[in-house]
Amino acid sequence: MAETSKEDRQLPASEQRLRKAREEGNVPRSRDVAHLLVMGAGMGALALMGPSLADGMRRLMASTFAFDGQVRLYFLDALQPALAHFGDLGWRTLAILLSVCAAAIAASTIPGGFNLSVKALGVKISRISPASGLKRIFSLRNLVEFLKLSLLASLLGAIGSWYAMDRFPEFAALSHGSLAGSVSHAMALVVGGLGLSMLLLFALALFDVPFQWFRHRADLRMTRDEAKREHRESEGDPQLKGQIRSRQREAARRRMLSAVPSADIVVVNPTHYAVAIRYDEAAGGAPRVVAKGLDELAMRIQAIARESGVPVLSAPPLARALYAHVELDQEIPQALYVAVAQVLVYVYQLKRWIPGRSTAPQAPVDLPVPTEMDPKHSEKGKHA
């Protein structure tokens, strides 16, 4: 089942999955980098503070083994010089330990970066469950880590043994030199051994950092079902979103149709386009399109206009131009001012016309609509 599950995880981890893993404290970490930085910090601190540390050790040893006949034979009086040197030596040692601790903290940010996760500090039943604990202990991953650490310890031991044997004459000669010289030389030998160990750790870290990064990404790979589920959670159910959009369109359509009775006129291409225009003299500005529709919606706009007593004018070029170039509640473009002005004059004449007393106003024909504004002519020009 586990192998099948891994085979099913064919999709790379999404940004949301990576972010969630980071919030839970699941980031790539490299122990080899931690070992390298800690040892490097220790070696650097010893190299920098080695002379002063060696001098402090020399003075401590000298004061401890020196005999001063002037000092009374009281235990505390005899210890005071040694304690003073020991305290000075302790501060230097503390500085080295702090540098090593700082390196250990810095190592925890590589390669996954700094990450302070509160969730990672929480108690999980799976962590305290004996069964889960045994599974983690005897897992393939822990076995690989154990083999890596065993190999590392063996290699470090081999390097240390070789270095000690190679420098054995120098170590043996330390007892014959002066105290200051022997301590300084011992420090140099220790730093040299640490340097060889660091070369090994550096080589392992070059391999381990990309390996941990790729393994972390592989662990977070997703199945297709997980990807679909995540998409639904983040983006919403497509079916539900479609229903919401449909309701929004229907609400917008109802609002638009409710504006048709307030229009001054509806310009139509009888079977395809319908555009309702309103001109508000008090508000100023150009006439606005308050409703427009195509095909079935166009027929619905025409029906509402006739029911509401709004004039309907058949002017196909103008209807097409208004539908194509003017959005709802926007003013008409300047290129259509003349044509719309003639239409509004016709509306004004209809309002003043009294049936039976005069001839009905003539609907305007051949309205001046620029060719480039008419989609029908524009399409012909493209195909010509």
Structure tokens at 62: 């000298």
User: If you average pLDDT over residues 103-117, what whole number do you get?
Assistant: 66
Min mean pLDDT across 64-73, 137-146, 292-301 is at 64-73
> What's at 46, amino acid-wise?
L
Q: Is the pLDDT of residue 298 over 50?
A: yes
In tens, the pLDDT along 224-236 reads 887 777 777 666 6
Please tell me whether the peptide bond between 111 and the residue prior to it is cis, using omega within 30 degrees of 0: yes
For the record, the structure tokens of 215 come out as 């393994």
Of 91-95, 109-113, 194-198, the range with the lowest mean pLDDT is: 109-113
Whether 2 shows a pLDDT value over 60: the answer reads no
48-60: pLDDT as tens digits:
776 677 677 666 6
The amino acid occupying position 109 is: T
Class of domain 259-379: alpha beta
Q: Check residue 13 and give its pLDDT.
A: 78
pLDDT greater than 60 at residue 116: no
Residue 180 is predicted with a pLDDT of 62
Please report the pLDDT score of residue 381 as a whole number. Answer: 41
* pLDDT tops 60 at residue 384: no
How is 3-70 classified by DSSP, letter by letter? Answer: HHHHHH--BPPPHHHHHHHHHTT---B-HHHHHHHHHHHHHHHHHHHHHHHHHHHHHHHHHHH---TT
Lowest mean pLDDT among 104-108, 166-170, 249-253, 334-338: 104-108
Please report the pLDDT score of residue 28 as a whole number.
Answer: 77
pLDDT of residue 276: 92
Which pTM value belongs to this model? 0.42
pLDDT at 367: 87
Q: Domain residue spans in the chain?
A: 11-115+131-233, 259-379
Cα angle 38, 201, 111; round to 5: 70
pLDDT digits (tens, 9 = 90+) for 281-294: 887 788 999 999 99
